[in-house]
A and B are shown apart, each in its own frame.
Chain A
Amino acid sequence: MPVSIMKSNRSGLRLATIALPALLFVVLSILSPAFLSVQNLSNINGQIAALLIVSLGQLVVALIGGIDLSVGAVLSLTTTIIVSVSPDFALPAALLAGIAIGLVNGIGVTVAGVHPLIMTMASMTFLQGLALLIHPVPGGTVPDYLAGLAWTSAAGVPAAFFWCVAAVTIASFLLSMTRFGLRLFAIGANQASAARNGIAVRWYSVSCYVICSVAATIAGIFISARVSSGDATVGAPFALDSITAIAMGGVQLAGGTGSVAGVVLGTITLGLLTNGMNLVGISPFLRTAATGLLLLVAISMQRRTVIGV
């Protein structure tokens, strides 16, 4: 895609968004012989799948100018529900909880007028405590059918790949092929203008928070299966990591700009950083510093675009 086109569209994609993971890929291929092995590429896939799913949910909320800090706690709560209720009801119970949390967040932000940062931080704190009450110590047994969903492979392709493909396909369809998706961009660009044009902003906003929570729930189901246990704190880093991933992918947190492709690239960048530093043997402390630095560089190279004014 020519750079000139990328500069003018609402995807937020910039040269840096694409160049950064590509550069990391090339450098790591040269520095570490193990990097391109099938096992390692499969590992990276498994490592980023949950973050990708959460980040796609975060993208939906970010497009309308919102933010959801509760995704990590939703993920943690999901893993505790999965190992605490009867296997027959584990999935429905987790999904119902995800929908309910999304509704509360959405109604709190749109109807009660609470700032999304405060609303989702409050629910994050509540849900973290609830998860610890349900399952204070990591462990438990994940239903066999779920464990299989994360660890099986088809024609040598690991299950995590299919989780990623499904999440990307659904998100792409939702945002690019439906009126719902197009209206999210309109709301994020100018909420008042969107409302004047007949878009039911509240309904769409509540829906976005529900989608985001459900995405975090699905990621929680994947994580439960991947680590074969429930852990009330396992999701803690996902709130900030998902925001980092979408920001690296060119999504503007003020709303109206962003793309599924950008989120995929941002997530891959974070995954490559972690994997690459382990393979090359660089200090783990440097990874955190490098992530912060790369985020700053990526954001600096993405000047705020104003849409819909």
Chain B
Amino acid sequence: MKKAVKGFFGVSLIAVVAAFSIAPAIAGDDVQLLPPELLAPTTDKKTPPDKYKKAPPWTIGMVFPGVGNTWIIQMAAETKSEAARTPEIKEFIFTEANWDPTKQVANMEDMISRKVDAIIIAPIAMPLLKKQVDAALAAGIPVINLGWSKGALPSTVEVMGGGGPFGEVGGKWLRDKLGGKGTVWAFRGVAGVQEETDRYEGFKKAIAGSEITIGAEVFADWNYAKAKGLCENLVLSGKPVDGIWFSGAEMTRGCIDVFKEAGRPLVPMTGEGNNGFLRAWKESKLDSVAAVFTPELGPAALRATVAILQGKSLYDHYFSDPAPITNANLDRYYRPDLNDAFWMPSELPAAEIEKMFKK
């Protein structure tokens, strides 16, 4: 365990060194929401200073789509932890809509009624909250979007990762791994969810122009059990497969188990930076790559909110597209002392990580 902890601090040290080495690219008076290798502005446009400046203490509302997977639970915990460590925040209200778009609209309206000082949103679908975001801004409440609206919302600041670049990581890697030709299967997440479609589009963009064909495409809801069942069907069908792209790593774990149980040699499969997947990757000696979708995006959105309320100027849009975890650096990220629910990188205090994720 000590070795693992040491390894983790090693990674942190590298991250800090990397952050300082990249730092000159960012102006000295810029607010840093996360280390630059994790989150970077994608525009020169900045919010006007003092537009939403308010005297503390503040009440901040967060309008989240719903819970239901370990990434969201960790992101919410990291955001609440950051709020608790920020003395200017009097109250942090976390609402979730159980993935019901109409309830999310209602939650947003309730936050405006409650006259909170700022609202962090993570829309189930961007257009859904347009009128409510307009209303909040008209009421002088800044809206920080933990999402990428691509201009659909007039959010004060947007902070996001994943999406197209996430899908591209796996797509590019498969393209290289297969030498630009072959048959792949695509395991997608929940149908109709914008993040899922963005990831898939990123994957398709990465293999466009190659001789790689998609031999099978299924929606497994980012769910281990559903992916396992679907993968069993595909394996038993005898369909050819040279590699598999996954929209989420819970599904990769399901498919690894199916291949092992069927006695089939593993094909290259993509994953993401989740400890459970890294464990399965390491134990099965899979050939893989993991896109990183850090739960630190939650605290980053909260820091953006605090900076806006302090009257500071931020870039309009930030995006997280860190370097992926590869076969070569897997050991630096995997935490054998923690359980499968842990996502990295995390900025939760070590004691909280131990409490939440210790095996």
Chain A: residues with CB nearer than 8 A to chain B? 32, 34, 37, 39-40, 43, 46-47, 50, 132, 136-140, 151, 223, 226-229, 231-234, 236-237, 274-275, 278-279, 281, 284-285, 288
Can you list the 10 inter-chain pairs with the closest CB atoms, starting with the nearest? A138-B125, A278-B110, A229-B127, A40-B113, A47-B106, A43-B109, A237-B100, A233-B192, A284-B96, A234-B101
The contact of A137 among B91, B94, B109, B197, by CB within 8 Å, is: B197
Question: A227 to B102, Cβ gap below 8 A?
Answer: yes
Q: In the bound complex, how far is the Cα of B99 from the Cα of A236, in angstroms? A: 9
Cβ contacts under 8 Å, A226 to chain B: 102, 105, 131
Residues in chain B near residue A284, CB distance under 8 A: 94-98
Besides A227-B105, A279-B110, 6 more A-B contacts (Cβ < 8 Å) are: A32-B114, A47-B109, A137-B125, A229-B128, A237-B100, A279-B114
| A278–B101 touching, CB < 8 Å | no
B128 lies within 8 A of A138 (CB): yes
Residues of chain B lying within 8 A (CB to CB) of residue A140: 127
Partner of A278, one of B91, B111, B115: B111
Q: How far is the CB of A108 from chain B (nearest CB, A)?
A: 25
Contact mask for chain B residues 61-100; partner A; CB cutoff 8 A; 1 contact, 0 none: 0000001000000000000000000000001011111111
Instruction: Point out the residues of chain B lying under 8 angstroms from A137, CB to CB.
Output: 125, 192, 194, 197
**Would you call B4 an interface residue if the criterion is a C-beta within 8 Å of the partner chain's C-beta atoms?**
no
Q: Is the CB of A132 within 8 A of B125?
A: no
The answer to whether B126 and A278 touch across the interface, beta carbons within 8 angstroms, is no
Given A50-B102, A226-B105, A234-B102, residue A39 in contact with residue B127 (CB < 8 A): no
Compute how far the CA of A278 lies from the CA of B110 in the bound complex, rounded to whole angstroms.
6
Residue B208 at the chain A interface, CB threshold 8 Å: no
B contacts, CB < 8 Å to A: 67, 91, 93-103, 105-107, 109-115, 124-128, 130-131, 152, 191-192, 194, 197
A208 CB, min distance to chain B CBs, angstroms: 25
Least CB distance from B209 to A in Å reads: 24
Q: Could you tell me if B102 and A43 are in contact, using CB atoms closer than 8 angstroms?
A: no
Contact assessment for B114 and A136 in the assembled complex, using a CB-CB cutoff below 8 Å: no
Give Cα A151 to B101, complex, Å. 18
Contacting pair B113 A228 (CB below 8 A) = no
Q: Is the CB of A138 within 8 A of B194?
A: yes
- Name the residue on B nearest A136 (C-beta): B192
- Contact with A237, one of B103, B114, B125, B191 (Cβ below 8 angstroms): B103
29 residue pairs from A and B, CB less than 8 Å apart: A34-B114, A40-B113, A43-B112, A43-B113, A47-B102, A47-B106, A136-B191, A137-B194, A138-B192, A139-B152, A151-B131, A223-B102, A226-B102, A226-B105, A227-B101, A227-B102, A227-B105, A227-B131, A228-B130, A233-B192, A237-B98, A237-B102, A278-B95, A278-B111, A279-B113, A279-B114, A281-B91, A281-B93, A284-B94
What residues of A have a CB within 8 angstroms of the CB of B106 in the complex? 43, 47, 274-275, 278
Residue among A34, A37, A151, A278 with the highest chain B CB neighbour number at 10 A: A278
Q: Does A43 lie within 8 Å of B127, measured CB to CB?
A: no
In chain A, what residue has the closest Cβ to B127?
A229
Given contacts A43-B113, A226-B105, A275-B110, whether A139 and B98 have CB atoms under 8 Å apart is: no
Question: Which of B94, B105, B115, B152 has the most chain A CB atoms inside 10 A of its CB?
Answer: B105
Q: Is the CB of A37 within 8 A of B197?
A: no
Question: A138 to B105, alpha carbons, bound, how many Å?
Answer: 14
* B125 A231 Cβ-Cβ under 8 A: yes
B113 touches A39 (CB 8 A): yes
How far, in whole Å, are A132 and B197 apart by their CA atoms in the complex?
12
Task: Using CB atoms, name the residue of chain A closest to B92.
Answer: A281
- Specify which of B130, B131, B197 is in contact with A136 (CB 8 Å cutoff): B197
Q: Does the CB pair B128–A231 fall under 8 Å?
A: yes
Q: How far is the CB of B68 from chain A (nearest CB, A)?
A: 11
How distant is the Cα of A178 from the Cα of B261 in the complex, in angstroms?
Answer: 64
CB distance from B290 to the nearest CB of A (A): 26
